[in-house]
Chains A and B, each alone.
Chain A
């Protein structure tokens, strides 16, 4: 039985504000509307309200009967800016101070994300030793659009992606997994608290996922650690799994109760969709049943998401 999987990481833009003492910068990710634009998230101040129609009536701009030099009122600027590529928006922070505040506001980032429909593909190359490289591609071209050297020494893997932010873990060395977020649009890292490796004979990083709860506006990372221990040296291995959840803005990982099906995943990376992270699991027999396991931590609906998986028997 063959299985072919094609995964896409959706690239949205989105804003994360963290109160973490460790780093004060906010990761924001926002979306872009045209296919080839790069997503960017920028924090924004609350100028633009959701209900545009109430604003519209009151705004007329400086229109005179001579159509020369019409000036657009500041309230209409976000309408235009939220349709520009992130890369350009980063430049436009230099236009003037009010534009910088506007572009840096989380509310603007969300507006930008809402208009975004760009998807990019990201891959990790662990073989450019000693470097670990992240390569990014747009969906309709095989040419790389970005290549970033990661500040990692050990083997790097994906834990998940959501709204244009990639969650990466670094293995190797010591008793910790290092975890960081990479905002693909504004190209900034955010270090998360590391995960302590289980103290057992063997362990394995199992299923993982990264998602956003739009109601509480919180990002969470989930990681399942599979531990195999040789009980009393009998040669019988006992497997147990630990499920760890990190809420962005906190400084630790919480353990949650045992996770069913953790050892029988078909696909390690959870796919984020509609406020939930989904994993494909199978029975231990050779048949493949498509079971979507929904793990919900108070997450609810967000946006669409690009995910394609093909199973071939």
Chain B
């Protein structure tokens, strides 16, 4: 799309190619919010399709949707709630990793908070499973740790 103001990129679109070969369009101003993409644009020029080897066609549209709203300043709590409502744990993790790869700060922080919200008040076992972490403590070591901060494992005089 040609513009009169040559330096304005507000209606220019950038083509992004996912790791599985699909191509998506994004506004240049939205691409600016993803530092990795912007760096690639700076290196390769904005007329070339930018390859994103680590992002795939399942998650990129959702990311684009987020930043479309961001550039128009329309991100509200309701939008964010809606955005993550139907995502399962794995989908959120994939988006989180993609946001990290793309260096998309706002989305990254939003998803960090969302994952933290999903994990809040969950047990140690649940968190281990969520992150796929093996417990390398012996039973004795673990029970000693639990004993040390026994109060944190109960609701000490807490209200609802």
Contacts and interface: CB of A to CB of B under 8 A. Distances in A.
Interface of A: 33, 53, 56-57, 59-61, 63, 65, 67-72, 76-77, 79-81, 83-85, 87-88, 90-97, 99-100, 141, 143-147, 186-187
Contacts of A33: 113
B112 to A, nearest CB: 5
B128 A71 contact: no
Interface residues of B, number: 49
Nearest to B124: A94
Contact of B100 (A56, A65, A99): A56
Contacts of B115: 80
Given A91-B152, A95-B133, A72 B96 contact: yes
Contacts of B136: 96-97
Interface string B63-96: 0000000000000000000000000001101101
B35 interface: yes
Main secondary structure, interface of B, reads: helix
A85 B120 contact: yes
A87 B152 CA distance: 5
Nearest to B119: A84
Contacts of A63: 54, 56, 94, 97-98
A96 B128 contact: yes
B146 A94 contact: yes
A59 B102 CA distance: 10
13 contacts: A56-B108, A61-B100, A65-B20, A65-B56, A67-B58, A67-B94, A71-B131, A76-B100, A90-B149, A94-B142, A95-B135, A97-B136, A99-B133
A84 B137 CA distance: 22
Contacts, number: 118
Given A90-B149, A91-B124, A95-B133, A147 B157 contact: yes
B39 to A, nearest CB: 8
Q: Considering the complex of A and B, which 3 residue pairs feature the smallest CB-CB distances, nearest first? A: A83-B116, A90-B152, A143-B159
Given A70-B93, A91-B124, A96-B136, 14 more contacts: A60-B97, A63-B97, A67-B58, A67-B91, A79-B112, A80-B112, A84-B116, A88-B121, A90-B152, A92-B127, A93-B145, A95-B131, A95-B135, A144-B159
A92 B124 contact: yes
Given A67-B94, A79-B112, A100-B145, A91 B128 contact: no
Interface string B107-146: 0100011011001110110011001111111000010011
A7 to B, nearest CB: 23
A68 B90 contact: yes
A56 B101 contact: yes
A57 B157 contact: no
Interface string B35-73: 110000000000000000010101100000000000000
